[in-house]
Amino acid sequence: MATLRDLKRQIGSVKNIAKVTEALQTVSAVKFRKAEARVKKARPYADNIEEMMRDVASKASSKSPLLVGREVKTVAVASITADRGLAGGFNAQILRRTIRFREEQNAELKQVASGRKSVSFFKFRGIELEEVFTGVSDSPTYEKARELGQALTKLFEEEEADEVYLIFNRFESALTQKPVVKRLIPVAPEEDENDDENHEEDSGSYMEYVPDAETVLKRLVPRYVETMAWQAMLESAAGEHGARMTAMKSATDNANDLAKNLTLQMNKARQAQITSEISEIAAGAEALSAG
């Protein structure tokens, strides 16, 4: 059985851990609120670009590979995780989803990693990385999203990849982040995904494209990819802080529970010690008076 001193030391260290996790929780809560506000403020832009992409794609008559795709020999996938851990299953679920995605493909694979956690994961697994983006998972910049977007568009344009996917945590709330797989190029909507969305057929309205739908499309695609990367990075950042906040809250709760249990044990041990001391003294006194 643990001695009183051991227990005291343990309680001390558990309480220290609780202090650290609580501090992390507070910091994450602040960052989370900021990141959440950023996601919300960024949505109108992303929604509009996405809608425009859908409209133009349905109007453009071209059989441009950017739109309709080409024979798939190589698939590029970009996985977005956080730079740091201590966020519960946040990073692991992206990496698991990526591995499953890779297993599902009947094509050669090219991996792009954003976030230190995914970089180290893929390196550890011996998966070669085409491009690496780190240092901004905490607070993404559009600049970084553009780099990622351009890298992905380039892979397609130089025919190094015939399809480009993005895997990231969609932010739902502080408690839930859902890993999603999104196809970026070709931009034509994936059939199976569209069933439940049912966009009203762009209201059949007439829309003029200046100078023409093809030209707009050509300019729009890279911007669309960038924007989707940007949105994904922002959602991931909000998810990261939310997940860390939640993880740290339960860590703090656990540490406090543990400290409580240990304190109980310590009190028992102390009482046992006192009891045995008293009985020793009593026994000693009895022996003396008997003698």
Partner 1 sequence: MSESREERSEGRQLFCRVITPEEIVYDGEVDLVIARIADGEIGVLVNHAPLVSSVETGEVRIKEGEEEHVYATSDGFFKVSENLVQVLVEEAVAPGDINIDEAETRIEEAERELSELADQDEEERGPKERELERRRRMGENLVRVARRYGEG
Under rule CB under 8 A, residue 64 binds partner 1: no
* DSSP 8-state class, residue 30: H
Among 223, 253, 258, 265, binds partner 1 (CB under 8 A): 223
Of the listed pieces 14-22, 23-31, 106-114, 214-222, which binds partner 1 according to CB under 8 A? 214-222
- Shortest distance in whole angstroms from residue 179 CB to partner 1: 23
**Residues 169/262, Cβ–Cβ less than 8 Å:** no
Under rule CB under 8 A, residue 289 binds partner 1: no
Structure tokens at 259: 């400290």
Under rule CB under 8 A, residue 39 binds partner 1: no
Looking at the Cβ atoms of 7 and 131, the one nearer to partner 1 is 131
Among 55, 130, 163, 240, binds partner 1 (CB under 8 A): 55
Site for partner 1 in 147-206 (CB under 8 A): 150, 154, 205-206
Using the structure block, give the residue that is written with the tokens 């059949």.
204
Per the document, the length of the chain is 291
CA distance 93 to 178: 9
CA distance 223 to 220: 5
Three-state DSSP state, 110: strand
Q: How far is CA 151 from CA 112, 179, 290, in A?
A: 9, 22, 94
Looking at the Cβ atoms of 78 and 233, the one nearer to partner 1 is 233
In this structure, the number of other CB atoms found within 10 A of the CB of residue 276 comes to 10
Of the listed pieces 64-72, 79-87, 218-226, 257-265, which binds partner 1 according to CB under 8 A? 218-226
Binding site for partner 1 (CB under 8 A): 38, 41-42, 44-46, 48-49, 52, 55-56, 142, 145, 150, 154, 205-211, 215-216, 219-220, 223, 227, 230
